[in-house]
Amino acid sequence: MSRKLKKGYYVRGQFVAEGSALDLEYKRELKGTDEPTRTDLKRESTELQKLGEDLLTLRPDFMARLDLPEKLVEAVAECKRITNFEGIRRQMQFIGKLMRKLEDSQHDEIRAALEEQHMPSAKDTLLLHQAEQWRDRLIADEDAVGQWISLSPSTDSQNLRALVRQARKDAKPEKPGLAPRHGRAYRDIFQLVREALTAAQEQPAPDLHAGDGYSGQDA
């Protein structure tokens, strides 16, 4: 899923996000004053209020890495427990107030943690790559289905063989010279393999990696 790009601009090769502390500083310089305007203060307050809302979505392990005031951490935890709409609104206002007391460096650390949380982990990337390898191997190699079933005996072998047959049929070009097509069976094989690999990671199970010297092509 593509992420929405932040609004901003570049100054001497550095990206400046709209509403950030650096953006407000540059705008004050252009106005010839170091004093923030009422509009600047309101924009900054709104931006920090939104950052406080995003803080509620941060995973506990990421939250623990941040050196945040205990009062803010407790306020976030309390807001997650509140179910009343008005109660949540009031608690979020309190969180926004606490956010405005933080240093700019702490705001940047929160943004960095949120950004990192939304990035796929190396573990997830490796799993997807392995699923792609097994999908391509199952379609291309006649012996691969039996090898997969021996490693993942809980697999519905009849369903897998039917998907492989359909994927091979779909891959045949309608006319010579045309590129192979990938239909629903191609995607279903990938989903089946990915779910099995994910389950194998969560619970100790036989090695389902597409190893043994095999080097599949990426999708």
Q: Is residue 212 part of a domain?
A: no
Averaged pLDDT score across all residues of the chain? 82
CATH number, domain with residue 24: 1.10.60.30
Average pLDDT of the residues in 29-37 = 61
Instruction: State which residues form the domain around 158.
Output: 122-202
pLDDT above 70 covers a percentage of the chain that reads 80
Q: How confident is the model at residue 6, as a pLDDT?
A: 66
Which residue would you say has higher pLDDT here, 151 or 34?
A: 151
Say if residue 86 is in the same domain as residue 16. Answer: yes
Q: pLDDT at residue 34 above 60? A: no
Q: Is residue 194 part of a domain?
A: yes
Q: Is residue 215 part of a domain?
A: no
Average pLDDT of the residues in 84-94 = 92
Overall number of domains in the chain: 2
Say if residue 99 is in the same domain as residue 46. Answer: yes
With b for 16 or more beta-carbon neighbours within 10 A and e for fewer, the 193-210 pattern comes to bbebbeebeeeeeeebeb
Average pLDDT of the residues in 125-129 = 87
Q: Kindly report the pTM of this predicted structure.
A: 0.45
Identify the CA nearest to 62 among candidates 14, 105, 119, 22. Answer: 119
Say if residue 113 is in the same domain as residue 131. Answer: no
pLDDT in tens, 156-180: 999 999 999 999 998 887 777 666 7
Q: Is residue 186 part of a domain?
A: yes
Identify the CA nearest to 101 among candidates 34, 65, 40, 52. Answer: 52
Say if residue 140 is in the same domain as residue 74. Answer: no
Q: How confident is the model at residue 62, as a pLDDT?
A: 87
Residue type, 197: L
